[in-house]
Amino acid sequence: MTPRRTADINFPETLKLSSDERKAVSASPAPPFKITKHWLSLLDGSLDDPLRRQVVPTTAEQLILPGELQDPLGEDAFSPLPRLVHRYTNRVLVVVTGQCAQYCRHCFRRRLTGDSFGEITETQIQDISCWLSLHSEVKELLLSGGDPLTLKDNKLFKIMDSFRMARPDIVFRLATRMPIVDPERITTSLARELGRRRPLWVVIQTNHPRELSPKAISSIESFQLRGLPVINQAVLLRGVNDNIEILEELSNTLVRIGVKPYYLFQGDMAEGTGHFRLPLEEGLRLSGELRARVSGLGMPSYAVDLPGGGGKVPLDITYIQNRCDEGWNLRTPDGIEGLYKENL
């Protein structure tokens, strides 16, 4: 069974809300307002707490800026079947549920998250399995949502086994925040059964080093002990991690616990998330500073999803200055310039 350990924090005795937060909550925001008891225990009590900003609604979400979209990644246009997204030739995404243990205020899939979207049905599982059997070009399948680990274990395994039966060669990715927001959900039996369904990569989202609590680290280790690699996708968020020291600490901590910092995403153009987004120029500066401070192992790829379905674009300050007669003039992340001579 999948235990639900969420706290109703609409009551001031559980979490004291500011007048702005209370107004935002009363407006029935999408995604809904929900927080786990574990995350609640990590808050420091201040209104500008980076962890609080990620989960407690504010009225800033009610401001829809020009260019913001309900479907910023254009996923609906690449959906051959309900819940299936085939944006890239060699991989697909399946939205197995709209539910999360708690809802991120920066969520780009907010049009789908919440109880109303429900869970994938038996018919949908069968239809997607049949589709997979006809598309050998697909090599990887991303289980996403919502959070797949809000499903009961047996249903999650049934979904995976159906897809794997249709395509024995498929590589799974499991996108989840559960190890971070509700570590107790990662039981020994869950980790063991997921380990039996390798090849499988666990993709977590951690945006601030304080999220990596001892319990969170222990839950991540449960995956690693079963041979499951864990990678992290962070989102660059104003007021959360738009600080080089925070980004450096996050990368170093992830590497120390055996998690590869995979992506650092520029905020998507999702409706009501403009207060989280940084200018690209600022993100490029932070990415450049981070590269100068951490190893290659600790350096995530700074990237953005083009609005409307254009796909991921890596963003980086180029270290190629120019080409000359002797070769290439290059610049290191520390700012040292040098000549790479080509004798070909």
Hey, which residues are catalytic here? Answer: 87-88, 91, 100, 104, 107, 109, 268, 305, 312
Cα dihedral 27→31→101→251 (10° resolution): -120
> How many Cβ atoms are within 10 Å of 252's Cβ, its own excluded?
15
Start-to-end C-alpha separation, the chain? 63
| H or E element, residue 160 | helix 153-166
Sheet containing 91-95: which strands, arranged edge to edge?
84-88, 91-95, 140-144, 171-175, 200-204, 230-235, 260-265, 301-306, 311-314
What are the CB-based long-range contacts (under 8 Å, 24+) for 212-218?
212/180, 212/250, 212/253, 212/254, 212/257, 213/38, 213/42, 213/183, 215/38, 215/183, 215/184, 216/179, 216/180, 216/183, 217/257, 218/183
Q: Is 196 helix (H, G, I), strand (E, B) or coil?
A: coil
Burial label, 25 (beta-carbon count in 10 A; 0-12, 13-18, 19+): middle
Output the six-digit token pair for 151: 């499903």
Q: Which helix (H) or strand (E) holds 157?
A: helix 153-166
Q: Number of helices and strands (H, E) in the chain?
A: 10, 14
How far apart are alpha carbons 272 and 63 in whole angstroms? 6
Sheet containing strand 327-331, strands side by side = 320-323, 327-331, 337-341
Give the span between the Cα atoms of 25 and 59, in whole angstroms. 9
Closest to 146 in 3D by CA, of 118, 121, 173: 118
- The pair phi, psi for residue 180, each rounded to 5°, is -90, -45
